[in-house]
Amino acid sequence: MLATKQPKFTFIFCAAICNALASNGILSLIFLIRYLERIGHQCFISPIVREYPDEELLFTLDTSANSFFARTNWAGPHRSITGWAEWHNHLSKVAEAFGLKIILDPKILIQNGALVVYPERIIDNPLNAPKVIRYFGNRDGNLNGGKRVNQGPDDFILAHSRFVHPSARAYIFFPYIDEAFGESPIPWSSRALNVAYIGKGELYSKVVIPKNTVLITRKDPCSKSELAQLLKNSRFLFTFDSLTNLISESIFCGAIPVYMQFQPFSESEIDDIEVGPIPRANFADLIVEADGNYQFSDPSLRTPILDQMTRFRASFHEFQNSYGNSIQGFVDKIVAHWKL
Amino acid sequence: MRPSYVIFAAPYTEKSAGIKSLWKLAEAIQKTGRKAIVIQCEIVDGSFVACFDGKNFLKCDKDLIPRVLSGLGEHIVIHGENLDCEYFESLNVARYYLNKMGFLINKGQAREGEFKLAYHAPFCDDPDFVLTQFMGKIDLEQAEQMTIHDRFLNLTYVGKGWMYNAECPTIYQTVLIKRDWPETNEEYVTLLKATRFVLSYDSLTSVLMDSVLLGAVPVILNAAPFTKAEVSRICGPDFPLYFADEIDLREFDQQEFLQKRLAYISYCKNLRDSFDQNVIDMCSAMESFFKLQ
């Protein structure tokens, strides 16, 4: 009912949408777009070719010229992008898969009042939009080598979680889990595998992969269902990335997360996330068995963690159910912020 | 004076058993007291290039290799089955059939007078010598002692299978392993040690052998380009060989597999332990063939 009372807006999401399958932050924007469209708003993607420090916008998709061009801002120079065919192909696939509308020249829409959403990886305002929504999927500067967002005084701050931005005007916690990740029929003690993940962890710490593990990368395994198969056969996920959806996926498949480091966060901050403390084991509490598999040195540590994982999954589902309400609340706050 | 051996091999990689076997052969020949060198070569965009100085690859014509090797004294050239004879016309050549002629992307031509060295007997007609190598990445004694617990993970492997199958979809509820994933040998071994079935589109790959040694059951999805009988001969009588269209994986006889696996480990140990003597015999056979003794 609330949706019918709200004015309808046009949103332009200026983001590296190509990364949708590798980045939960981008995926969260796509789900936001889909929900906004469902309640009557209009959404477009203005694709970013490269994020910080280039912040190059896609300008034309003229594949006949055997290149496409990007520019750093409206007045900036045009540059030919190498690898255009692969990039274009990838962009088209993502847009088609998620039903996204690409806009290459959003100037008119912006002049007519469209709201532009930038993820925190976009530092400046490459579309020169007067009404800017800054979406923080991670802490300011974490993924840009410490360089912080050039926030305008009138920008609207939206964040994924209090954990990443303590004083945002609105929060939309995105509790996404692919349906491939679910209960495993394989009892935890019968699992013969352990997996490791580096992800963003190499930005913050030295990485030494624990022995007798298989490394999951951003690229491999190449599908969610294969990743789920690995996790459903794993006792532990050793993660160097302390903020990745892989941790939730692991918990849903019954593999216990082990943080190999917490940077750029502290251990207590990790537990501040909306769904509650993240169930995990300490690496120091584990031993390697004769066959190379990992086990708790004290077997009594296991059951409480598996119980916490059950509670985490329930809490996650509750947040999934309230996702729509948080978006309605976000739109209400936009109306109030700009007195629209 | 014994002849020298010149082995033409692609740059070393852990990812190809064929390439590794050429490099391993060079080492084994050196152990017999003979001189053996490896000349790295590749086929790049249809051109055959070789590196004679350890730095630069030169495009070869039919005169270059005989000219470069002319100062070497008596020698025997060994190369894989996929190289063309035109670059080695006037030389004593042993063609090492690491696969059947023409089954790989690079297809060479043989000529009269070559010594036919076969990795497995079915790879060429009337081989002059068969030299099979143990190319496993696993310690056989450890494999023999390994306890095989229940396993639930299944893998798909494509490898060279893409050349012989119109499509190679990842089998439902399996994980696709590739030449570049898992990235390290240790991870590869860890994964196979947790695996029940390896479903392979490639019917001639060391992945099948590694699977057996690590307790995973190899299941061939398509024997092509070989016949099932040829695959069976290549793998040998002790190899626990399964074809997907002949077995029901839900009623798989694990005990029978485990027994065959132990027999296969014994076969591999024999292969490993007799390799040095086999190389001595191979050199004698070649030197006799080319009348260099």
Angle at CA A275, nearest 5°, toward A271 and A277? Answer: 30
Test B181 with A190 for CB contact under 8 angstroms. no
Question: Is A214 an interface residue toward B (CB < 8 Å)?
Answer: yes
User: What does the pLDDT read at residue A63?
Assistant: 44
pLDDT digits (tens, 9 = 90+) for A255-293: 999 999 999 888 988 888 888 899 999 999 999 999 899
Does residue A74 surpass a pLDDT of 50? no
Test B194 with A193 for CB contact under 8 angstroms. yes
In the structure encoding, which two tokens stand for residue B126, read together? 């009337």
Angle at CA B122, nearest 5°, toward B269 and B270? Answer: 10
**Residue among A191, A192, A229 whose CB faces B174 most closely:** A229
Domains of chain B, start order: 4-133+271-289 (3.40.50), 140-252 (no CATH)
Q: Which residues of A touch B170 (CB under 8 A)?
A: 223, 226
End-to-end Cα spacing for chain A? 19
pLDDT digits (tens, 9 = 90+) for B54-73: 889 999 988 999 999 998 88
Q: Which residues of A touch B178 (CB under 8 A)?
A: 220
> Which ipTM did the prediction report?
0.82
Test B175 with A215 for CB contact under 8 angstroms. no
Contacts by residues B270-274 (CB-CB < 8 Å, ≥ 24 positions apart): B271/B132, B271/B133, B271/B134, B272/B134, B272/B140
pLDDT digits (tens, 9 = 90+) for B262-290: 999 999 999 999 999 999 999 999 999 99
Residue B13 CB: number of other CB atoms within 10 A?
Answer: 12
The Cα of B216 is separated from the nearest Cα of chain A by a number of Å equal to 12
Rounded to whole angstroms, the Cα distance separating A68 from A83 reads 10
Size of interface A-B (CB pairs under 8 A): 60
Give domain limits for chain A. Answer: 7-174, 188-319
Higher pLDDT, B120 or A19: B120
Residue A42 CB: number of other CB atoms within 10 A?
Answer: 15
- What is the DSSP secondary-structure string of A146-164? TPPP---TTPEEEES-TTT
The Cα of A214 is separated from the nearest Cα of chain B by a number of Å equal to 5
**Residue among B178, B183, B190 whose CB faces A292 most closely:** B190
Test A291 with B147 for CB contact under 8 angstroms. yes
Question: Is A213 an interface residue toward B (CB < 8 Å)?
Answer: yes
**CATH number 3.40.50 given to A7-174:** yes
Q: What is the mean pLDDT of chain A?
A: 87
Mean pLDDT of all residues in B152-177 = 94
Phi, psi of A214, deg, nearest 5: -110, 130
Q: Which residues of A touch B187 (CB under 8 A)?
A: 213-215
pTM for the full predicted model? 0.79
CA atoms within 13 A on the CB side of A44: 16
Pairing of strands A156-159, B242-243: unpaired
Test B186 with A233 for CB contact under 8 angstroms. no
pLDDT digits (tens, 9 = 90+) for B219-269: 999 999 999 999 999 998 899 999 999 999 989 999 999 999 999 999 999
Q: What Cα–Cα distance (Å) separates residue B78 from each residue in A19, A57, B123, B148?
A: 48, 55, 16, 41
User: What does the pLDDT read at residue B203?
Assistant: 93
